[in-house]
Amino acid sequence: MYTSRRMFLGGLISSAFVSQFAFSSRAQEAPALFTKKPEDFDPNLIVFLSDTHCNPKGTSYQRQHFQAVVAEILKMNPLPSHVVIFGDFAYLNGGREDYAAASQTVKPLTDAGIKLTIGMGNHDRRKPFLEFYPDYAKTSPVPERIVSVVETQHLDLIMLDSLQHEPSGKGIVSGAIDPEQRKWLALTLKDYKKPVFVCAHHEIKELKLDKLLVNTPQVAGFIHGHHHRWRRGWTASNWSSTKTLRTLCLPSTGHWGDIGYTLFRTSPDRAVAELRQSDFYFPHPMPKEKRPAEWDIRLEENRGQTCTFLLPKVTSA
């Protein structure tokens, strides 16, 4: 069910939004209430979030959107087995206060038993992130990068680390995959025994991964964030080949652009991404009387959108 498209009227939050926010607050105060049994989780359902830009100010619209989405996820029956965040978990500069707020916001998900995976975006910083999530330094297969593998029954997801920044710590907007990470990815994909999705914050061509992924039979698709909009696409290694790879860009959880999250349902032969969009605004929410009519048109055009990925048949050697 879609949340109201106009959550902000003259700077006031609607009653529906307040209700969701209250639910999230209760989840943080009493995580024991949300202890679940294995049968309460759908192993074939994953929720994708991206560009959460968690503002440490509790009154910020970004943080409130994020909290409302967490509350909505916790109401799902059954719960998703995983929540995957595609980077820009932090607000703007990856400060420690950003991760303090963001980790508190997602805590109800892990308290409920949902497996959480977080990727790195250009607004993130590894060192302060690892203060709150030190296990990533131990589990990442690539040293000094935050790389994760999400394993599910029918397919796996590889979350790459496309964050690059100057030695001073100043952020660089564009993404890149370093040589060690690229080498690890190529070797890992070569003998992969299941259909696999490669994921990152930045898009495939920017990371120069298109030829590798298009020509790897086990790869079912590439999913990314960064652009704050729902966008289905495809890429090819060259224009004389019939083989293409489907790509998907995810909406922002609450910063600007298409606002929402994505349900990702898996089965033996396919995976279907379903957009759950609650709003559109740029560059920030506006009162009803100032809201451009085009924003509602964009919202209506995206309503009910899905993206289907056919899973390759992978044969064991």
- What is the average pLDDT across 233-261? 94
Structure tokens at 283: 């560059």
- Tell me how far CA of residue 3 lies from CA of 74, 131, 196, 276, 317, in angstroms: 15, 34, 32, 9, 48
- What is the average pLDDT across 238-245? 88
> Would you call 301 exposed, middle or buried from its count of C-beta atoms within 10 A (0-12, 13-18, 19+)?
exposed
Q: Is the pLDDT higher at 152 or at 238?
A: 152
Model confidence pLDDT, tens digit, residues 173-214:
999 999 999 999 999 999 999 999 999 999 999 999 999 999
Residue 156 DSSP class: E
Helix (H) or strand (E) holding 220: strand 219-224
The yes-or-no verdict on residue 35 having pLDDT over 80 is no
Contact present, 244 and 214 (Cβ < 8 Å): yes
The yes-or-no verdict on residue 5 having pLDDT over 50 is no
Model confidence pLDDT, tens digit, residues 99-125:
999 999 999 999 999 999 999 999 999
Binned at pLDDT 50, 70 and 90, residue 94 comes out as very high
- Tell me how far CA of residue 127 lies from CA of 30, 90, 134, 162, 253, in angstroms: 30, 12, 9, 15, 24
Distance CA 243, CA 241 (A): 5
Contact present, 36 and 73 (Cβ < 8 Å): no
The mean predicted confidence, pLDDT, of the chain is: 89
- What is the average pLDDT across 159-184? 92
Crossing angle for the helix pair 61-74 and 96-111, to the nearest 10 degrees: 20
CA-nearest of 37, 266, 273, 311 to 152 is: 266
Q: Would you mind telling me the total number of residues written for the chain in this entry?
A: 317
What domains are there in the chain, each with its CATH number? 8-28+36-310 (3.60.21.10)
Distance CA 283, CA 4 (A): 19
